[in-house]
């Protein structure tokens, strides 16, 4: 028998009949021909329960929106292969250098990582809910002319946006890794990286490599080096790209720990010229927390800096250790999404790892999405 949580009322929950109604203003205003739910994850290891929760809720929300509004909905998975694979300290400068997964594993290694750790769950969710999905790595995204052209066009307006993207220093980090074959190292905090706007959709980036010294890379829409942007900066460019989309409504899906950061992204978007009505639609999913209220962090637990929360199972840190089949895992996840989407009070809140495990142990998925 499915168990439902006891959830207090909130201002937002009180204003909604269902959680997906949060997107209704965007749907009414845009009158889209299709809706794309965008969910991203750093592919730097096995996913934990928080990752699976956001991904399954993305598919479930897409199915509900499709059925309620009669608009085709798809999921776009952004595989962030620019996550650090290795970080070292330069003994001479004291600066930290990083090498991304994309450069350490290469395209074939990244594809294998996605196929092994993420695609099976996405395929199962897609088949169950009849929601198509696509996968795009950050490497592919940053190489696209539209992304690079958007970055180049925003450079002249960075004075207006920089304090939103980097409130402490006013210097948003741009990393263009060393282009030497087999290298790919870049200063993590870009202390010696300089960007020169050359105009005419062209910029020159100078930096210092850990192994090869000073170098310059030219960035153009269709050519140039690897463009690795700090998190808020990357989201600014990504969301500027979709701001003028015709016929398509993009919904950015994230965990609720992203909510304060998105305030800064929205400030940067408006600083470079977007109006409030042009800001992207966002859906923040429930956050999984520890007994202390902190976000569940597998890295802190594995480093011994935080204990495994009471009631949490080891598989919650590495979903490959789920004690059952993939089909059973999907059943439990979809049953859980039914519970969380049953009432806005259940959706717009956080859950301890123990409570989430309890809900999953009794959740039973419906065979078809709720209408």
Look at 52-66, 99-113, 307-321 and tell me which has the smallest mean pLDDT.
307-321
User: How far apart are the C-alpha atoms of 170 and 278, rounded to whole Å?
Assistant: 24
User: How far apart are the C-alpha atoms of 155 and 272, rounded to whole Å?
Assistant: 10
User: How far apart are the C-alpha atoms of 66 and 55, rounded to whole Å?
Assistant: 17
**CA 222 to mean position of chain CA atoms:** 25
Residue 96 within a domain = no
Same domain, 266 and 325: yes
Query: Using N-to-C axis directions, what is the helix angle for 101-117 and 119-129, rounded to 10°?
Result: 40
Looking up residue 124, the CATH number of its domain turns out to be 3.40.50.620
pLDDT of residue 311: 83
Same domain, 280 and 319: yes
Same domain, 179 and 115: no
Residue 1 within a domain = no
Residue 89 within a domain = no
Same domain, 223 and 257: no
Range of the domain at 49: 11-84+102-170+230-362
pLDDT at 327 over 60: yes
Residue 91 within a domain = no
Give the C-alpha distances (Å, rounded to integers) separating 7 from 254, 340, 351, 357.
Answer: 21, 10, 10, 16
pLDDT of residue 366: 57
Smallest CA-to-CA distance from 145 within 72, 193, 186, 202 is with 202
Give the residue-averaged pLDDT of 236-253.
Answer: 95
pLDDT at 295 over 50: yes
Same domain, 249 and 325: yes
pLDDT of residue 151: 98
Q: How close are the terminal C-alpha atoms of the chain, in Å?
A: 21
Same domain, 223 and 327: no
Cβ pair 46, 314 in contact under 8 A = no
Same domain, 283 and 146: yes
Which long-range contacts link 221-227 to residues 24+ away (Cβ below 8 Å)? 221/145, 221/148, 221/149, 221/152, 222/145, 222/148, 224/148, 225/176, 225/177, 225/179, 226/102, 226/103, 226/139, 226/142, 226/176, 226/177, 226/179, 226/184, 227/142, 227/147, 227/148, 227/151, 227/174, 227/176
Same domain, 20 and 110: yes
Q: What is the pLDDT of residues 34-48, one digit of tens each?
A: 999 999 999 998 999
Residue 192 within a domain = yes
Q: With pLDDT > 90 as the criterion, what percentage of the chain qualifies?
A: 89
Number of independent structural domains in the chain = 2
pLDDT of residue 214: 97
At which of 182, 205, 229 does a domain end? Answer: 229
Mean pLDDT of the chain: 94
Give the residue-averaged pLDDT of 191-216.
Answer: 97
pLDDT of residue 363: 76
Give the residue-averaged pLDDT of 62-85.
Answer: 98
Q: Is 25 exposed, middle or buried (0-12, 13-18, 19+ CB in 10 A)?
A: exposed
Q: Which residues contact 88 (CB under 8 A, 6 or more apart)?
A: 96, 97, 210
Same domain, 199 and 241: no
β-strands 194-197, 203-209: how paired?
antiparallel
Residue 177 within a domain = yes
At which of 186, 203, 229 does a domain end? Answer: 229
Give the C-alpha distances (Å, rounded to integers) separating 260 from 125, 254, 257.
Answer: 29, 12, 7
At which of 229, 244, 261 does a domain end? Answer: 229
pLDDT of residue 365: 60
pLDDT of residue 369: 44
Residue 278 within a domain = yes
- pLDDT band at residue 368 under the 50/70/90 scheme: very low
Same domain, 123 and 61: yes
pLDDT at 371 over 70: no
Residue 21 within a domain = yes
Q: What is the pLDDT of residues 140-174, one digit of tens each?
A: 999 999 999 999 999 999 999 999 999 999 999 99
Same domain, 165 and 185: no
Same domain, 52 and 79: yes
């Amino acid at each position: 028998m499915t168990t439902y949580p006891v959830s207090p009322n909130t201002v937002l929950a009180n204003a909604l009949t269902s959680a997906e109604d949060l997107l209704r203003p965007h749907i009414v205003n845009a009158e889209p021909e299709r809706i794309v739910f965008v969910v991203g994850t750093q592919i730097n290891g096995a996913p934990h329960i928080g990752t699976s929760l956001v991904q399954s809720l993305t598919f479930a929300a897409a199915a509900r929106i499709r059925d309620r509004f009669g608009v085709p909905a798809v999921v776009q998975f952004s595989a962030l292969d620019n996550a650090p694979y290795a970080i070292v300290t330069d003994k001479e400068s004291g600066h930290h250098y990083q090498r991304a997964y994309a450069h350490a594993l290469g395209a074939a290694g990244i594809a294998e990582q996605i196929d092994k750790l993420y695609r099976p769950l996405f395929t199962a969710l897609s088949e169950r809910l009849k929601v198509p999905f696509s996968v795009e790595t950050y490497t592919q995204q940053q190489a696209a002319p539209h992304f690079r052209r958007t970055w180049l066009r925003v450079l002249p307006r960075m004075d207006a946006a920089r304090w939103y993207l980097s409130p402490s220093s006013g210097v948003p980090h741009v990393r263009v890794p060393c282009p030497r074959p087999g290298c790919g190292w870049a200063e993590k905090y870009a202390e010696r990286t300089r960007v020169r706007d050359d105009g005419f959709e062209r910029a020159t980036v100078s930096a210092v490599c850990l192994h090869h010294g000073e170098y310059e890379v030219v960035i153009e829409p269709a050519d140039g080096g690897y463009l690795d942007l700090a998190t808020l900066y990357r989201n600014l460019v990504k969301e500027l790209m979709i701001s003028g989309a015709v016929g398509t409504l993009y919904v950015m899906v994230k965990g609720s720990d992203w909510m304060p950061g998105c305030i800064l992204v929205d400030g940067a978007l408006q600083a470079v010229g977007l109006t409030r009505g042009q800001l992207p639609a966002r859906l923040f999913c429930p956050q999984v927390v520890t007994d202390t209220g902190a976000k569940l962090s597998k890295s802190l637990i594995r480093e011994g800096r935080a204990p495994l929360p009471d009631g949490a199972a080891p598989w919650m840190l590495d979903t490959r250790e789920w004690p059952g089949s993939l089909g059973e895992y999907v059943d439990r996840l979809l049953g859980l999404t039914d519970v969380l989407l049953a009432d806005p009070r259940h959706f717009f809140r956080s859950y301890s790892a123990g409570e989430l495990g309890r809900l999953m142990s009794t959740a039973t998925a419906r065979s078809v999405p709720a209408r």
